[in-house]
Structure 1
Amino acid sequence: MSEKTVSPLGRPNPMAGELHTLRANPANCHWGYFDPALAPVLKVKSGDIIQAEAITQHAGDAPELMMDDTTWAIFNGIPEEDRYPGVHIMTGPIWIEGAKPGDMLEVRYLSMTPRTQYGANLAANWGQLYQEFDETERVTIYQLDQNSMNARALYAYDVKEKYTTPGRVTRCPECDRHQALNGVRVPMRPHLGTAGVAPDVPGRMSTIPPGLHGGNIDNWRIGAGSTMYYPIAVDGALFSIGDPHVSQGDGEISGTAIESSLDVMFQVILRKDFFFPSPLLEAPDCWIVHGFDEDLNQAARNASIDTIELLTEHQGLSRNDAYSLISVAGDLGITQVVDTRQGAHIRIPRNILPPRE
């Protein structure tokens, strides 16, 4: 085992540091990209807690329901020509004191609360079955009930023009509305579709594809109570959050989740005692290892290889034992198939593994 392969399991809880508030506004948001040259909007120390606002780029699907003053300020304050090469509104970046390439950023997601009572799902032109539906996009607007943690469809409408401009504002009162999903209740599970550190590449990197930096992973399990570990590639880490969702299934088949803005509280912890090659999710009951590639088979293979590393380097299993275990107890799933670079993941239950000191 290398010098930086201490298991994150069984670690002591660090003392909570300072509490910071990070508002979403044109000065604190960047639209569509990660960039290692982007100046941080907040500087924190390991252990600090951040209360941040994450704004959906799909608020314009129902502006009368989903756009408050904060959202309008971002839509009006960041010009369309500066929303590239991706589509997501990102809050940040956050500089973590002492973070260096080769370290890990542990992000403990503490709470995620919807900022409005509504969300939107776009059956988009990048969805898996767009051509099966006469190349017509459909928007379904949902009402959120935070007491029951369910969402129900209010109405749907069709848009013939492709969603090509990030932050498109549709004047739905002027469109034909359809009834949708009568009697259906969708469980809410608020999470971040996109979050991550700045990659070590020159210039802007699109927020659309996921990668080793994190980005648009679109795993619905990245919600309150879960912890993510991101490999740090640049000084300060430069961590940003965006693409807030209130519900999504594995695959994100139509192209989007139920998109809705969130208030997100999280703690950042700088880890210099271990390393992992890809974004790693620690949920209350399991570990989830991610793999990405333009080819879904290769994405699954990448997830398998990194799961073996988790079990060998961090759990002490032999490679042969780890290979057997992921076959008999690991669940291979499709995270998403719509983000250019596709995602697979392997879930390993935590209760089957012996405790590690």
Structure 2
Amino acid sequence: MLNRRTILLGGGAVALAGVGGAYLGMRSMGSMEEYNSSIAANRAALARRPETSELVRCAALAANSHNTQPWWFKIKQSGIEIHPDLARQLAAVDPDNHHLYASLGCAAANLGVAAAMGGRPGELSFNPADQGAVVFSFGGGAAAEPALFEAIAKRQSTRGDYDGKPVSPADLATLARAAALPGVDLHLISDRPRMERVRDLVVAGNSKQMADPAFMRELKTWLRFSPRQAMQTGDGLFSASSGNPPLPAWLGPVLFDVGFKAAAENDKYSRQIASSAGVAVFVAQKSDPEHWVLAGMACQRFALAATALGLKHAFINQPVEVAGLRPELAALVGVPGRRPDIVMRFGYGPALPFSSRRPVSAVLA
């Protein structure tokens, strides 16, 4: 789930982008000003008592794998259903739809927080008979959580360097409380020796994935290089959201093939993990779609709490995506024999451009 890749372009490739783009008309790619304006409308401050369509907007701002937004929503008088959009599956990186269902859980967490804030709290259930739909039924006693609600529109997966500053024990406790859900265990790693072991697993997983032609083809289909391309699709991994320069849509794939190399990516991941304050590993107590949804919910609530505390986060899921690495990660966090679900680094750092989102009308049944 939630595996967002940085597009690394070497200095020579960037120079070529500048020359080639100028020669062939950079204006066709759109501008970051236009892109940021379009994003601002979707990330506008949320109403304190959101209407039903606003609840869906809140849910759709959740983290999700490759920014595929693999969901659609059905509004009913009794509540809101979140259905998997199987047309947005990621067959190479997510062959059993683990990340897809975790993404639904992230959306469900946002929905629950927003509904409680609007005075319509409810309860979540999982319907395996309906392709694993998540059902939010109005009615219940969940308390409003203003800090998490305000964080919904501000949260982003910030795929850049952090400043290495540690997080206080009190704030770590706040993060753990926010993520505490029955059926999911959170393991926080802040000591450098174990973070380095996580780094080694990330590097090993990244190397294996980048050597897989199917993985690379799939990743490339979800890359968005120009502001206009990102605005038109409303999904995918926009290069500027990873701190890289926007490029014309026709040129980006060419330079991606030239500049996206395992060694440079591994160096980047090593540097970014070293700059982080810690790593969070979410492990559900069972490995089935219902518990994958629960892991996503816990992860999203952690991310909202982190945002409220001024922290950034980013996903480093290679050790859970490469099946052969899962046992070592499970052993590292003290749960041998179980399947880790999500790995996230966190720390203090600057914001980057937000990822795009499709309009609410595009995700409604």
TM-score band by shorter chain is under 0.3
Q: What is the TM-score with the length of structure 1 in the denominator?
A: 0.24
More helix by share: 2
More strand by share: 1
